[in-house]
């Protein structure tokens, strides 16, 4: 036991409540000295691991080691849609909510141009395919924005119905709005909206942020 | 992590902040065992209500606030009054963890510098280096009973000095 801890323990054991001004000043000195001493440094690995286990038990009590998707940010959601084989009609493991999510690294990735800015007029929608990421970008109120082009049910590739301005899934007659909202479906489950993508306009091009998924 | 971004899940919050919270707590309790207990309390308390859409900066600020609360409760529970507080917590949420240690080191040295050499010596041995009474006695060339008396007087003087040191 360290000198400081022992000192405080002794004080706790024989104190009157509360401690006197003098005892408080002494304790303060002991603590501030200990805080500058040789016990300084990062927390021990063992402690970090055991607290991690306690937290997991508390926060994911019924998971038994399986990782849940706790929260989906736009970037995280976009990441979840990455890494799928684009040319297959059905891509697996993208939208099943209880599959283990990839390690998400929002800071890793790159901006990739999908269409020239002048080719996306106000109200326009453009489908793009970057190999690792497919989706739709649109211009609304002068601003560009985009969504993933993969159905959140089983990962089928969506197609654009220009007349109705909706994104249709060929697999189960599901339809999404271009902003990602679920318009209609015939599934006995709750369906998540399409993940939002990070989109910007730069150098005359509309660019989409393609996150890297660590494996 | 850039402070405007958000954390993907609670594990990312934990990994990115456990070092900072631990060192912050250590800088106010002065020993690792208590710092570990209280760091655990901070995360157990903070993580459930944490809104993950909050930015990294907001999450860190919230963790610092929770750290302050847990520390205050610790002192009230054990000694009936707050012994150390976070008077100067400007930028602490964005600070690199190592800087927390460096500041604590400077505070300790400021206290020691204001004391007679023999007092500073016994306190350095006992509280900074973690020597036992026996080890300190050997180092100082006196009996264990002498060390106890010397330490008692030294702590008292240090307490007078530490009263004026900003935490």
Is the same domain home to B60 and B111?
A: no
Is the same domain home to B81 and B1?
A: yes
CB contact under 8 A, B79 and A2: no
Is the same domain home to B70 and B131?
A: no
Contacts of B10 by beta carbon, 8 Å cutoff, 6+ apart: A55, A59, A70, B47, B50, B52
Answer whether residue B100 is part of any domain. no
Flag whether residue B164 sits within 8 Å of chain A, measured between CB atoms: no
Radius of gyration of chain A (CA): 27
Residue A89 has pLDDT above 50, yes or no: no
Give the span between the Cα atoms of B138 and B127, in whole angstroms. Answer: 16
Angle, vertex CA A13, rays to CA A9 and CA A18, nearest 5: 100
The DSSP call for residue B65 is H
Q: How far does A97 lie from chain B, in Å, by closest CA?
A: 15
Is the same domain home to B7 and B67?
A: yes
Residue B14, domain extent: 1-95
Least confident of A18-22, A119-123, B69-73, B85-89: B85-89
Is the same domain home to B86 and B146?
A: no
Positive or negative, the CA dihedral B11, B12, B13, B17 is positive
Is the same domain home to B90 and B15?
A: yes
Flag whether residue B5 sits within 8 Å of chain A, measured between CB atoms: yes
Q: Report how far apart, in Å, the C-alpha atoms of B153 and of each of B20, B31, B113, B148 are.
A: 34, 22, 16, 9
Chain A residues whose beta carbon lies within 8 Å of the beta carbon of residue B5:
75, 106-107
User: What pLDDT sits at residue B127?
Assistant: 94
**Better pLDDT: A189 or B142:** B142
Residue A79 has pLDDT above 50, yes or no: no
Answer whether residue B78 is part of any domain. yes
Is the same domain home to B38 and B77?
A: yes
Give the number of other Cβ atoms within 10 Å of residue A133's Cβ: 26
Cα dihedral A3, A38, A44, B98, rounded to 10, equals 130
User: What pLDDT sits at residue B88?
Assistant: 57
Residue A152 has pLDDT above 90, yes or no: no
Band the pLDDT of A131: cuts 50, 70, 90: confident
Is the same domain home to B28 and B89?
A: yes
Mutate one of B1, B3, B8 to test the A interface: name it (highest A CB count within 10 A): B8
Q: Report yes or no: A15 and B79 within 8 Å, Cβ to Cβ.
A: yes
CB contact under 8 A, A2 and B159: no
Could you say which of B51, B71, B95 is where a domain stops? Answer: B95
- Of these ranges, A86-95, A101-110, B98-107, the one predicted with the greatest mean pLDDT is B98-107
CB contact under 8 A, A52 and B130: no
CB contact under 8 A, A35 and B39: no
* Whole-structure pTM value: 0.59
Contacts of A77 by beta carbon, 8 Å cutoff, 6+ apart: A148, A195, A196
Answer whether residue B40 is part of any domain. yes
Q: Which chain B residue has the Cα nearest residue A49?
A: B15
Is the same domain home to B18 and B89?
A: yes
Find residue A157's DSSP bridge partners: A150
Q: What tokens appear for A142 in the block?
A: 């002068």
Residue A99 has pLDDT above 50, yes or no: no
CB contact under 8 A, A42 and B128: no
Order of strands, edge to edge, in the sheet holding A205-214?
A103-116, A205-214, A199-202
Residue B164 has pLDDT above 60, yes or no: yes
| DSSP assignment of A18-64 | S--HHHHHHHHHHHHHHHTSTT-SSPPHHHHHHHHHHHHHHHSTTTT
- The alpha carbon of B89 is separated from its chain's Cα centroid by a whole number of angstroms, namely 12
Position of tokens 């309790």? B29
Position of tokens 């500058």? A36
Answer whether residue B142 is part of any domain. yes
Residue A134 in 3-state DSSP?
Answer: strand
Residue B37 in 3-state DSSP?
Answer: helix
Could you say which of B95, B126, B141 is where a domain stops? Answer: B95
Band the pLDDT of A158: cuts 50, 70, 90: very high
User: What pLDDT sits at residue A136?
Assistant: 94
Q: Report yes or no: A195 and A97 within 8 Å, Cβ to Cβ.
A: no
Is the same domain home to B41 and B90?
A: yes
Is the same domain home to B20 and B72?
A: yes
CATH of the domain at B149: 1.10.10.10
Q: Which chain A residue has the Cα nearest residue B128?
A: A37
Is the same domain home to B71 and B12?
A: yes
Residue A98 has pLDDT above 60, yes or no: no
Contacts of A71 by beta carbon, 8 Å cutoff, 6+ apart: B8, B9, B52, B53
CB contact under 8 A, B5 and A29: no
Could you say which of B37, B71, B95 is where a domain stops? Answer: B95
Mean pLDDT for chain B?
A: 88
Chain B residues whose beta carbon lies within 8 Å of the beta carbon of residue A10:
none
Overall number of domains in chain B: 2
CATH of A74-214, one of 2.102.10.10, 3.40.50.170, 2.90.10.10, 3.40.50.2300: 2.102.10.10
Give the span between the Cα atoms of A159 and A167, in whole angstroms. Answer: 5
CB contact under 8 A, A40 and B34: no
């Amino acid at each position: 036991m360290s000198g400081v801890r022992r000192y405080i323990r002794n004080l706790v054991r024989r104190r009157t409540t509360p401690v006197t001004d003098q005892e408080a000043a002494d304790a303060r000195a002991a603590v501030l000295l200990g805080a500058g001493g040789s016990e300084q440094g990062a927390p021990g690995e063992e402690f970090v691991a055991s607290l991690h286990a306690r937290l997991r038990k508390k926060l994911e009590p019924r998971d038994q080691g399986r990782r849940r998707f706790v929260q989906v940010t736009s970037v995280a959601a976009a990441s979840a849609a990455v890494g799928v084989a684009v040319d297959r009609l059905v891509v697996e493991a993208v939208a099943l909510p209880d599959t283990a999510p990839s390690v998400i690294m929002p800071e890793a990735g790159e901006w990739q141009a999908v269409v020239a800015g002048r080719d996306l007029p106000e109200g326009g929608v453009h489908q793009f395919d970057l190999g690792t990421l497919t989706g739709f970008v649109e211009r609304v109120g002068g601003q560009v924005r985009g969504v993933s082009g993969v159905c959140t049910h089983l990962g089928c590739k969506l197609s654009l119905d220009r007349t109705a301005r909706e994104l249709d899934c060929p697999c189960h007659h599901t339809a999404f709005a271009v902003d990602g909202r679920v318009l209609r479906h015939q599934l006995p489950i709750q369906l998540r909206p399409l993940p939002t993508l990070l989109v910007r306009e730069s150098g005359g091009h509309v660019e989409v942020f393609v996150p890297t998924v660590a494996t | 992590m850039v402070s405007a971004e958000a954390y993907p899940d609670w594990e990312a919050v934990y990994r990115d902040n456990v070092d900072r919270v631990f060192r912050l707590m250590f800088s106010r309790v002065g020993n690792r065992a208590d710092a570990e207990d209280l760091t655990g309390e901070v995360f157990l308390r903070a993580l459930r209500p944490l809104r993950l859409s909050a930015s990294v900066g907001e999450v860190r600020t919230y963790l610092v606030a929770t750290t302050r609360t847990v520390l205050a409760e610790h002192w009230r529970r054990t000694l009936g009054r707050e012994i150390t507080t976070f008077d100067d917590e400007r930028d602490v949420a964005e600070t690199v963890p190592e800087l927390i240690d460096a500041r604590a080191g400077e505070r300790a040295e400021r206290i020691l510098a204001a004391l007679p050499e023999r007092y500073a010596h016994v306190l350095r041995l006992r509280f900074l280096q973690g020597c036992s009474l026996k080890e300190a006695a050997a180092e100082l060339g006196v009996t264990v009973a002498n060390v106890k008396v010397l330490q008692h007087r030294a702590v008292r003087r240090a307490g007078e000095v530490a009263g004026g040191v900003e935490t």
